[in-house]
């Protein structure tokens, strides 16, 4: 048996950290963004929409 010597305590810690990381990724996918981040993205989208609406040319039938 000339295998690598493994510290079981460290191996358990690495395994627990990997499990916690995978749970965190699943929760991020499940629950999405925080409320503040959602509000910030929505405000940014509204600003972009307002800017685009201001730059729109009028339609030929609009009379403008």
pLDDT at 64 over 80: no
Q: In the predicted model, what is the mean pLDDT of residues 17-24?
A: 96
Do 58 and 64 contact (CB within 8 A), yes or no? yes
CA–CA dist 27, 58 (Å, integer): 45
pLDDT value at residue 1: 60
Tell me which of 32 and 8 has the higher pLDDT.
8
Give the N- to C-terminal CA distance of the chain in Å, as an integer. Answer: 86
Mean pLDDT across the chain = 88
Enter the pTM of the model: 0.46
pLDDT value at residue 51: 93
Task: Enumerate residues 6+ apart whose C-beta is below 8 A from 38.
Answer: 32
Give the sign of the dihedral formed by CA 16, CA 22, CA 23, CA 25.
positive
pLDDT at 24 over 60: yes
Do 41 and 33 contact (CB within 8 A), yes or no? yes
């Amino acid at each position: 048996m000339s295998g690598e010597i493994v510290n079981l305590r460290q191996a358990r810690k690495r395994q627990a950290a990997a499990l916690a990381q995978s749970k965190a990724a699943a929760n991020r996918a499940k629950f999405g963004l925080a409320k503040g981040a959602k509000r910030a993205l929505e405000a940014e989208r509204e600003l972009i929409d307002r800017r685009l609406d201001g730059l729109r040319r009028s339609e030929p039938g609009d009379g403008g």
